[in-house]
Amino acid sequence: MSTYTIDTATSRATPQPAPMKRLTAPAILARKGKEPIVALTAYTMRTAQLLDPHCDFLLVGDSLGQVIYGLPSTIPVSLEMMCAHGAAVVRGSWHALVCVDMPFGSYEESPAQAFRNAARVLKETGAAAVKLEGGEAMAETVAFLVRRGIPVIGHVGLTPQAVNTLGGYRARGRDDAEAAKVMADAKAVADAGCFALVIEGVMEEIAADVTRAVACPTIGIGASAQCDGQILVTEDMMGMFERTPRFVKRYGDLAGEIGKAAEAYAAEVKARTFPTEDQIYRPK
């Protein structure tokens, strides 16, 4: 476990002791079938600092639309939002690879559009990879980016940016046709050169089958313990929300802790018992 001091001149967090070198895309790829890969989402510098010692990669997910901005879906998330949060997460981390989600509308039009925007993400944030949603339809784009020096994480199964065509967020692969489509999507983007593949919201057997079928590590969310790694939205697993999807396990009660702290503060302000001598300034 590292502790951090902030260099006020550069805003960079300096960990003590200095951690190992930051993980790279080839290092993550080499973990296929080996030690499970630990990943969480991060959107801010301080959260990145706290998660970094425990994670192999931090995903600046476009889920920040709902989690940070209160948007109804990931559709309205912009490239500017992703760049701002991506840069903050890079500043707060040293050890984990940082991957930034390409938001809806920033990559689907053509491989050239995807390259232009992904290059901007890497330049403006310092992140080492991008993630984009989609299977067979995105394989050409993935290959185009990888051949030009942009490491890509794929994302198949339940793809939240397709909420309007899927008609909601239900788990995928309940019938044979859907299961075959998830497998074809996974193979297409893995063969196109992804160094990892997120499989979200699919029947457990499909995630296990895909994990056996593709050469890159699979990262499950609502998928299977057989995947090569797991990812969750940090605010979900830390207990920031009352309601979470079935696949989320809560490892903390941040909402409860924040509520308790705010309640205690409000009570002390009203009783004029805060601030005390310890928190006020007097002339020496």
Decide: is 56 part of the binding site for ligand KIV (CB under 6 A): no
Q: How many CB atoms lie within 10 A of CB 44?
A: 17
Nearer Cβ to ligand KIV, position 56 or 200? 200
At its nearest, how many Å lie between ligand KIV and the CB of residue 171? 14
- DSSP letter string over 190-227? HHTT-SEEEEESB-HHHHHHHHHH-SSPEEEESS-TTS
Q: What type of residue sits at position 184?
A: A
Decide: is 63 part of the binding site for ligand KIV (CB under 6 A): yes
Nearer Cβ to ligand KIV, position 15 or 66? 66
At its nearest, how many Å lie between ligand KIV and the CB of residue 116? 21
Contacting range for ligand KIV; rule: CB under 6 A; set: 60-68, 82-90, 110-118, 262-270? 60-68
Is 200 tagged catalytic?
Answer: yes
Decide: is 62 part of the binding site for ligand KIV (CB under 6 A): yes
Nearer Cβ to ligand KIV, position 49 or 218? 218
61, 157, 201, 222: residue in contact with ligand KIV (rule CB under 6 A): 61
Assigned token pair, 159 = 């793809």
Strands (E) across the chain are located at 3-6, 13-16, 37-41, 57-60, 97-101, 129-133, 152-157, 196-200, 218-221, 229-232
| Orientation angle between helical segments 139-147 and 111-125, nearest 10 degrees | 50
Assigned token pair, 25 = 């895309």
Nearer Cβ to ligand KIV, position 193 or 222? 222
- Catalytic position from the list 80, 178, 200, 263: 200
Exposure letters 9-33 (e unless 16+ CB within 10 A, then b): eeebbebeeeeeebbebeebbebbe
28, 96, 194, 231: residue in contact with ligand KIV (rule CB under 6 A): 231
Q: What angle do CA 129, 123, 13 make, to 5 degrees?
A: 80
Distances (CA, A) of 105 to 78, 121, 162, 248: 9, 14, 11, 28
The bridge status of strand 152-157 relative to strand 129-133 is parallel
Nearer Cβ to ligand KIV, position 52 or 62? 62
Q: Pattern of binders to ligand KIV over 195-214, x per CB under 6 A?
A: ---x-x--------------
Decide: is 51 part of the binding site for ligand KIV (CB under 6 A): no
Decide: is 233 part of the binding site for ligand KIV (CB under 6 A): yes
Nearer Cβ to ligand KIV, position 227 or 231? 231
Alpha-carbon torsion angle 45, 48, 50, 51, nearest 10: 170
> In the range 114-173, which residues lie near ligand KIV by CB under 6 A?
none
Catalytic residues: 200
Residues that bind ligand KIV (CB under 6 A): 41, 59, 61-63, 101, 198, 200, 221, 231, 233
